[in-house]
Amino acid sequence: MVLLWGSLATLLWRERCQARGLDVSAREFATVGLLGMPLVVVASAAALAITS
């Protein structure tokens, strides 16, 4: 899956997880990202609306 290899930060994160014995599949990574993204976008928009 291409999503897992999208950025250097993701590659470093996955390498650190593997070094600690955690195996995160591409499917699990994508699922968490797709579920978490709307929450982060809404929280960021709210923070910008409050501070501007």
Report d(CA 30, CA 45) in Å as an integer: 22
Query: Is residue 43 scored above 70 in pLDDT?
Result: yes
**33 Cβ contact list (under 8 Å, min separation 6):** 3
Is 0.85 topped by the overall pTM? Answer: no
User: How is the chain split into domains, by residue range?
Assistant: 25-52
Give residue 3's pLDDT: 56
